[in-house]
Amino acid sequence: MADRLYGDVVADTGSVSVAILLRSSIDNSRMTGVAAGSVNATFFRQGDAAPTTITMVALGSSSAPWASGGWRELSSGGMPGWYRLDIPNPAFASGADWVALQISVAGTFGFDVPYRIQSAALIPDQILKRDFSAVEAVSAAAGRSLLNAMRLLRNRWATTSTAITVYKEDDSTPAWTGALATAVGAAQITSIDPT
């Protein structure tokens, strides 16, 4: 598992911290001053028989180093109701496609969120299998981008005695050109058009 979804967290990633917003279940106001000891937190991974309880730990500051189960209010004055939670590393271990996180605090709506777990191998696999014609539909490629480098290997290109033109994925629109140096008497490749 952990190779089916293009997800939120790469499998086996450690030291993941998330922001949690707690609101009152009475009037929907932001809850401030919630200490680590008042928080019940669990996670449930795909395939588990039961939820795993997170042992909560009070962090010394909102910028403290990551600690499994770490909890800290970000700023009761500047960002009331927001807290930092350090999710234990086993939650994102490879072997599952998702993990569900549940935070329960008396008097609040609580916090429930699923995270998809993405295989670390999936990212390069998706890049290598990507249809580059879809990339420029979003935005133009930079001159020295990976996309333009790959075009020379796969797309149509043509040369003259002084220049090379590499085409976009439609094999008719120029993507980039470059100067060529030639040698008298050398055989010249004039074009290639992959099918």
153 pLDDT more than 80: yes
Name the domain count of the chain: 2
Same domain, 38 and 94: yes
In a domain, 139, yes or no: yes
7: pLDDT confidence band, cut at 50, 70 and 90? low
Same domain, 105 and 155: no
Quote the CA–CA distance of 105 and 32 in Å, as a whole number: 12
pLDDT at 2: 44
Quote the CA–CA distance of 83 and 34 in Å, as a whole number: 9
Same domain, 97 and 29: yes
Greater confidence, 194 or 157? 157
The whole domain housing 171 covers: 131-192
88 pLDDT more than 90: yes
Greater confidence, 1 or 20? 20
Same domain, 73 and 151: no
Same domain, 111 and 170: no
pLDDT at 183: 77
pLDDT at 35: 96
Query: What residues contact 176, with CB distance under 8 A and at least 6 apart?
Result: 143, 148, 151, 165, 166
Domain stop point among 118, 140, 156: 118
1 pLDDT more than 50: no
pLDDT at 18: 92
In a domain, 123, yes or no: no
Same domain, 14 and 53: yes
User: 19 pairs with which residues across the strands?
Assistant: 84
- Candidate from 99-103, 162-166, 176-180, 188-192 with smallest mean pLDDT: 188-192
C-alpha closest to that of 18 among 58, 61, 74, 98: 74
- Candidate from 74-78, 128-132, 185-189 with smallest mean pLDDT: 128-132
Same domain, 46 and 97: yes
In a domain, 4, yes or no: no
**Which two tokens mark 159?**
């040369």
Quote the CA–CA distance of 185 and 75 in Å, as a whole number: 75
Domain stop point among 118, 139, 174: 118
**With pLDDT > 70 as the criterion, what percentage of the chain qualifies?**
88
Average pLDDT of the residues in 31-35: 95
Same domain, 14 and 93: yes
Same domain, 114 and 160: no
Domain stop point among 76, 94, 118: 118
Give the number of C-alpha atoms closer than 13 A to the C-alpha of residue 139, restricted to the C-beta side.
4
**pTM for this predicted structure:** 0.65
Same domain, 31 and 58: yes
Same domain, 114 and 136: no
In a domain, 183, yes or no: yes
Query: What residues contact 168, with CB distance under 8 A and at least 6 apart?
Result: 133, 136, 151, 155, 174, 175
Same domain, 178 and 156: yes
